Every structure is written in C-alpha cells, then in structure tokens.
Structure 1
Amino acid sequence: MSEKKVERVLTGTVVSNNRNKTIAVLIERKVRHPIYKKYIKRSTKVHAHDEKNKCALGDLVRVVEAKPFSKTKHWALLEVVEKSVFVD
C-alpha cells in the first residue's frame, strides 16, 4: 500500500532576507498553558529557500517542508500571501 505523505505548510512573516536565495520566516502560534489555561504566544524561526529572491521584509508568506538545501535550510517558499507596505 502506498500512502501519500502529508506536506507541512506553515504561514509566517519574513524577518530577514539578507542572504542570497534565503529568507528567515518567523512563525507564531498560540499554545494553552496546561495548568493556568492561559494562551501563550510561541514562535519559531525557520530558514526557507527563495529561488527568485522575490520576498521583502515583512511579507506574509507560506512555506512548505522540503528536502534539505543546507545545514539549516529545510523549507521552501510556496507563495507570498501578502506583500508588506514597509518603507525604508
């Protein structure tokens, strides 16, 4: 039986695009504290492959888990959901 592997797709904000073909994406989630039942923000920063260097700082992007591109880069840019209105 062949089962199709489920792709992990996450949405986050671009916090760095200084390196060539690489972006750093901050992914925020809310988790519930087991004792106090309060929701807490937790965040993870992942490095993603941006082949065409089309992301800017502050863009809302969707990334998908992919084969390793390097030591720390295991995600690939799927799409830019919303462009930022960030002005230098």
Structure 2
Amino acid sequence: MIADGSTELQQFHDFLGKRLAMGDAAVSVESAVDDFRQYQQELADLQSKLQVAEAQSARGESAPFDAAATKAVLQARLCLA
C-alpha cells in the first residue's frame, strides 16, 4: 500500500531501517519481508477504518471525544477483567 507517493522499496527501506535502529539486526531477509507485508496489511486495514469513520463523521454520525467518559468505560472494563 503506497499512501504517500513513495515507492514500495523506499517504504521497505524505512521499515527495515527502523528495525535495525532498534537493534533487530538478527532478523532474516525473509522474516523482514514477511513483517513488512504484515505491516502494510495492518496499515491498509487502519486506513480503511479511518475512511469509514471520516464518512460517518461527515454525515453527522459522530460526537466530540469525551476523555472522561472514555476513561470511565475503560476503568469499568479493567475492573471486570
């Protein structure tokens, strides 16, 4: 998935460079390519979900973010876990 005009090779270079910078130099080429493909799929899934959310918001089907309410829901879920 090429979202910003860069080539897939440039995106792979950036992805691999970040992994190497984090000390992940022992990864095989095959594993790095597999991980990059998985990253691309996850990114495409996220972009799709964001497009749906943007369309819903454009139709007035959203509300402002309520941090306090979100915290309360998360705290209730954590207490039940």
TM range (shorter): under 0.3
Structure-1-length-normalised TM-score: 0.19
Please identify which structure carries the higher helix content.
2
Structure-2-length-normalised TM-score: 0.20
Larger Rg: 2
Please identify which structure carries the higher strand content.
1
